[in-house]
Amino acid sequence: MADADIEDPLQRFGLWFEEAEAKEPNDPSAMALATVGADGMPSVRMVLLKGVDPRGFVFYTNLESRKGQQLAGNPQAALCFHWKSLRRSVRIEGTVEPVSAAEADAYFATRPRVSQLGAWASDQSAPLRAREELEKRFSDLERKYQGKDVPRPPHWSGYRVAPLAVEFWENRPGRLHQRELYARKAPGAPWTMTLLNP
């Protein structure tokens, strides 16, 4: 069965992602995350996919960062994967919910120690007077937690994007690209697939 015949886009994404992990030379888990602020201005940045299951797509961040504040005010987001070497991309739009504390704790425990300390040291998105200020906070934390486990900061956790729309794009000659849009009215509702003009 061709992957275009798969009725569940998350299952299809899994197949594409496996191929990207095997063949894409740089950060196959990198995805653009778009959010919208209270002023209606969109904002986009790159984050890393840290989990995907039937509930959606998971990433982690500082909850007090710009994206965290925007998601607190408007829990909707769009994601975009672009695997240049495969000439494929996947766009996702959906609602956003926090992951559980247990999920966040479990993932935080797997992070390299330097990243754990960095989560404490960085006031993500806040102005920084000088690089030395950040480096001093990091050094102070290294001393504080020397010989100890680094706990997850209360301001650091994850989000899950529950998809309502998933579009698969594949390059074809003459710009006659293949585009297939899966959509549903709410999480858990059945999917419909529509072929789109390129």
Question: How many other β-carbons are positioned within 10 Å of the β-carbon of residue 192?
Answer: 11
Which tokens hold the place of 151? 């706990």
Catalytic annotation on 175?
Answer: yes
Ramachandran angles phi, psi of 69, nearest 5°: -65, -40
Cα–chain center distance at 161? 8
Residue of 172, 175, 179, 184 with catalytic role: 175
- Burial per residue of 87-112, b for 16 or more beta-carbon CB atoms within 10 angstroms, e otherwise: ebbbbbbbebbbbeeebbeebbeebe
Active site residues: 175
